């Protein structure tokens, strides 16, 4: 059984709330609960009573360019869910909060720091037999005003990632070992999302995102366990300038959250272009142990 959140030794324990806390705040007008899933059918099948849906493709991405929504679209989203800058937005979802942390990261790009993750996500809520609903909530539209999106602190682009590589600064590839070794171009049971080459960015350390959670209930491991993974095994330091990546930035946002908030790393950026961009770039360095092993065997 997981310890209480405040007992786990996190640097910023207040970014997490328990399922019990959420159930006690279901009718709190200062709290907006939001579900963000990979599976678009889950929310309509059942959700936490009063929770709104934030769909990662429809609500968080630009419909034309490969980029996130701009300030105007973000304001429309927040107004639609009835949120003000003072509203505490509590995010949860499937896949042990993959997309919840992704949505959390985008909220930070717009400066909405009053946000939290429900520890354990949808899995824990359902396993505890807590109340669910199929009713679609309706909130009075707000007059939310946002600042322009700021990508400078939390987001890395390809040129910055290449510079990071050249300067031999730490990078974390949070994908599966098979993807990291170049044996797969995508996760098991998923379609290929367009990468022409397999492998990883040279020098990146493979720390699969799922190592940060307890598999039985999807909660985050305590700080001592996380430090063992990231600082002891992989020699990362809280003062390091770290870039994390995966395939499109969803799994790496989970690791960004762990390093930034639970372990207190001072500078972590998410390279959301990730492997679907890097695996298609012309003339960038790639390490592919699987292909290298095949070449050696054929020689």
Residue 261, Cβ density class (10 Å: 0-12 exposed, 13-18 middle, ≥19 buried): buried
Give the DSSP H/E element, type plus range, for residue 115: strand 115-118
As a whole number of Å, the CA-based R_g of the chain is 19
Q: Which candidate in 246, 248, 258, 259 is catalytic?
A: 246
Q: Quick check: 99 and 35 in contact, CB under 8 A?
A: no
Q: Catalytic site residue 246? A: yes
Q: What is the rounded distance in angstroms from the CA atom of residue 275 to the CA atom of residue 253?
A: 14
Q: How far apart are CA 74 and CA 52, in angstroms?
A: 15
DSSP letter (8 states) at residue 108:
H
CB of 20 closer than 8 Å to CB of 75: no
CB count within 10 Å of CB 279 equals 24
Report how far residue 193's alpha carbon sits from residue 83's, in angstroms, rounded to the nearest whole number.
34
Q: Which residues are catalytic?
A: 246
């Amino acid at each position: 059984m997981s310890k209480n959140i405040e007992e786990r030794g996190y640097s910023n324990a207040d970014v997490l709330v328990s399922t019990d806390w959420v159930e006690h705040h279901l009718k709190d007008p200062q709290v907006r609960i939001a579900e963000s899933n990979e599976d678009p059918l889950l929310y309509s099948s059942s959700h936490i009573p009063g929770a709104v849906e934030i769909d990662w493709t429809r609500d968080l991405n630009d419909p034309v360019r490969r980029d996130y929504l701009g300030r105007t679209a973000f304001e429309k989203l927040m107004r639609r869910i009835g949120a003000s800058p003072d509203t505490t937005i509590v995010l949860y979802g499937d896949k042990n909060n993959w997309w919840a942390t992704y949505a959390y990261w985008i909220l930070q790009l717009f400066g909405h720091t009053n946000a939290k993750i429900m520890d354990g996500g949808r899995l824990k809520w359902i396993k505890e037999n807590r109340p669910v609903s199929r009713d679609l909530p309706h909130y009075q539209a707000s007059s939310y005003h946002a600042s322009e999106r700021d990508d400078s602190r939390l987001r890395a682009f390809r040129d910055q990632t290449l510079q990071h590589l050249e300067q031999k600064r730490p990078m974390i590839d949070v994908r599966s070992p098979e993807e990291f070794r170049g044996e797969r171009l995508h996760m098991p049971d998923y379609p290929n999302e367009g990468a022409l080459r397999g492998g990883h960015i040279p020098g990146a350390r493979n720390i699969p995102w799922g190592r940060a959670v307890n598999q039985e209930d999807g909660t985050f491991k305590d700080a001592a366990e996380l430090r063992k993974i990231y600082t002891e095994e992989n020699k990362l330091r809280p003062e390091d300038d770290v870039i994390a990546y995966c395939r499109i930035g969803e799994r790496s946002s989970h690791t960004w959250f762990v390093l930034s908030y639970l372990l207190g790393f001072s500078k972590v950026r998410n390279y959301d272009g990730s492997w679907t961009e890097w695996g298609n770039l012309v003339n960038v360095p790639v390490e592919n142990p699987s292909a290298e092993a095949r070449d050696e065997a054929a020689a």
